[in-house]
Chains A and B, each alone.
Chain A
Amino acid sequence: MMSVIEVKDVSASYRKNQVLHNVNFEVQPGTLTAIIGPNGAGKSTLLKVLLELHPKLSGSVSFLGSNLKRMKKRIGYVPQRGSVDWDFPTHALDVVTMGLYGHIGWFRRPNRKHVERAMACLKQMGMEDYAYRQISQLSGGQQQRVFLARALVQDADLYFMDEPLAGVDAATEKAIMHTLKELKEQGKTVMVVHHDLQTVEDYFDHVLLLNRSVWAHGPTKEVFTQDNVYRTYGGTLRWMKEA
């Protein structure tokens, strides 16, 4: 089977420090992968490099054997919630509609059908009652759901998500994970930067252990071992569930 993502020898630096060193991996379609690793391991940078939001020093990235430019419309991205200013004057539905701007075409206005599609995605995230609420008045979890709805409306085949579960309540976590599993069942490929080691086994079928380079990658059952996690975190990990 052809890989959805093929990353070869990718290196990248961030403010003079090399954060990614010869990263290699391939991702199969229809998988739900957690990217885990300690702080500063280059998890967010990896996503940004894949999406060409951050320059790489060397290496190559291909999507279904093609380059990013051709695949842009089939890739969805959920940035970290803290990466935008939530004081921006707009409402939840409008943010979700932004996910359709690529489809609408530049310099054209969204029509009623576009707004209906956005509304359906908000509903899928259980946010329809907040559609016209100012985004500054939403809670952290609600903001995260809006971001996810915006990704859903893109109707992509491949999703990259940067810590979608960071700082959200249990209900939101459940709603988001339910959605991710649905995406997977539809045959879509999802890569998620994740930081809660305790939920990895329940939520994800694949794991990529990253600390500047890939320490282990594969099905969760085979790869997510105490040994591998300990090596990736380089002894900084004090706690580990006792078997």
Chain B
Amino acid sequence: MLSYLSPNTQWVLLSTLILGIAAGMIGCLAYWKRQSLMSDALSHAALPGVVIAFALTGVKSLPVLVLGAAISSLLGALLIQGIRSSSRIKEDTAMGIILSVFFGFGIMMLTIVSRSAGGSQSGLDGFIFGQAASMVRQDVYTMLIMAALVILVVFAGFKEWKLFLFDPDFAKGMGLSGKWMNSLYLSVLVLVIVIGIQAVGVILMAALLIIPSVSARYWSSSFRSMVICSGVFGGAAGMTGSLLSSIGNGWPTGPFVVLASSAIFLVSLIFGAEKGLLVQALQLRRQKKRHHSNSWQHKTVHVKEAE
């Protein structure tokens, strides 16, 4: 089936596959840091950076836009930290503030830039819902390299990530710097977000980080299997989403990616081997049966004890 697709579409599929794998894996880190919403805030915060980078350089080259996105995303992260540590505002509220302010500012800038000369052809609005089909070969290379880097970072420090996420105090006691790990975590999170926003869009990028990891939780009994599972789910969702969106002309990629990953989630929720609804129902039924068949034995024991 893939051979019917144009070479460009094949490249796009490959890049959304790798992006999905990287996002799914990083999503696991965010899941255990209890910061799933953080990825949403940071991807929204990337928008003004993209627009400003375009306005300043006037070229729509992915490395430049990615750099702009990374800067504004990191700025958002710093502001969230700053608000949380210097005021009574809690982290979720701080994320809500930064998310909406940055996104609102980004949309405003986008409107201004699109009205100016040349801006209307920029296709920058593709960054909102994602336009995987608009990627050129060069963009795909950029994405592949960065996604591969992210995947490498996760695998190289696998046991360090596990220790850091499970018990950060103990990790610190053993000499694993919490500051260092936090910065590294934030860097790979931002990296995945910024390479993903062209394909999936700033609004829905978080779905590729959050949903695969939650789905993977239903299938995994070890951190390793959860990360691998989540990567597979993310990759499948990314590729399916961009494949479906390539059917229509100008269909956005993001919504299809979200639908694909939601479908995976639904299947996991019901059929998942670890705490899936079906497995739990079956276990409960089996236990009830055993209880009923055992209960007469208990009664005899009680009678004997009474004697």
> A and B bound?
yes
Knowing A72-B175, A89-B217, A106-B160, say if A79 contacts B223 (CB, 8 Å): no
Chain A 34-57 near chain B by CB (<8 Å), digits 1 or 0: 000000000000001001110000
- CB neighbours of A106 from chain B (8 A): 157, 160, 176
Chain A 12-52 near chain B by CB (<8 Å), digits 1 or 0: 00000000000000000000000000000000000010011
- Across the A-B interface, how many residue pairs have beta carbons closer than 8 Å? 69
Tell me whether B166 and A98 are in contact (CB under 8 A). yes
- CB neighbours of B226 from chain A (8 A): 89
Is A88's CB within 8 Å of the partner chain B? yes
Q: Which B residue's beta carbon lies closest to that of A98?
A: B163
Tell me whether B222 and A79 are in contact (CB under 8 A). no
Knowing A72-B175, A101-B174, A102-B175, say if A90 contacts B160 (CB, 8 Å): no
Knowing A75-B173, A101-B174, A107-B156, say if A84 contacts B166 (CB, 8 Å): yes
Is B162's CB within 8 Å of the partner chain A? yes
Tell me whether A89 and B169 are in contact (CB under 8 A). no
From the candidates B173, B175, B220, B222, name the one contacting A53 in the complex (CB within 8 A).
B173
Tell me whether A88 and B223 are in contact (CB under 8 A). yes
From the candidates B32, B159, B169, B274, name the one contacting A101 in the complex (CB within 8 A).
B159
From the candidates A77, A89, A107, name the one contacting B221 in the complex (CB within 8 A).
A89
Q: Which A residue's beta carbon lies closest to that of B34?
A: A85
Tell me whether B167 and A79 are in contact (CB under 8 A). yes
Q: Which A residue's beta carbon lies closest to that of B158?
A: A109
Tell me whether B173 and A77 are in contact (CB under 8 A). yes
Complex alpha-carbon distance, A48 and B110, angstroms: 48
Complex alpha-carbon distance, A150 and B274, angstroms: 26
Complex alpha-carbon distance, A88 and B222, angstroms: 8
Complex alpha-carbon distance, A79 and B169, angstroms: 8
Knowing A90-B166, A91-B222, A134-B221, say if A85 contacts B32 (CB, 8 Å): yes
- CB neighbours of B217 from chain A (8 A): 89
Q: Which B residue's beta carbon lies closest to that of A160?
A: B173
- CB neighbours of A84 from chain B (8 A): 166-167
Is A186's CB within 8 Å of the partner chain B? no
Is B172's CB within 8 Å of the partner chain A? yes
- CB neighbours of A236 from chain B (8 A): none
Nearest chain A CB to B66 CB, angstrom units = 28
Q: Which B residue's beta carbon lies closest to that of A135?
A: B166
Is A94's CB within 8 Å of the partner chain B? yes
- Other 12 A-B pairs with CB < 8 A, given A72-B174, A94-B222, A106-B176: A53-B172, A53-B173, A72-B175, A88-B223, A89-B217, A89-B221, A90-B166, A90-B223, A91-B222, A95-B166, A98-B162, A110-B159
Nearest first, the 5 closest Cβ-Cβ pairs linking A and B are: A77-B173, A102-B174, A72-B175, A84-B167, A88-B166
- Chain A residues at the B interface, C-beta cutoff of 8 Å: 48, 51-53, 69, 72-73, 75, 77, 79, 83-85, 88-91, 94-95, 98, 101-102, 104, 106-107, 109-110, 134, 150
- Chain B residues at the A interface, C-beta cutoff of 8 Å: 32, 156-157, 159-160, 162-163, 165-167, 169-170, 172-176, 217, 220-223, 225-226, 274
- Show 26 A/B contacts (Cβ-Cβ < 8 Å), sorted by A: A51-B172, A52-B172, A53-B169, A69-B175, A72-B173, A77-B170, A77-B173, A79-B167, A79-B169, A84-B167, A85-B32, A85-B166, A89-B217, A89-B225, A90-B166, A91-B222, A94-B222, A98-B162, A98-B163, A98-B166, A98-B167, A98-B170, A101-B163, A109-B159, A134-B221, A150-B170
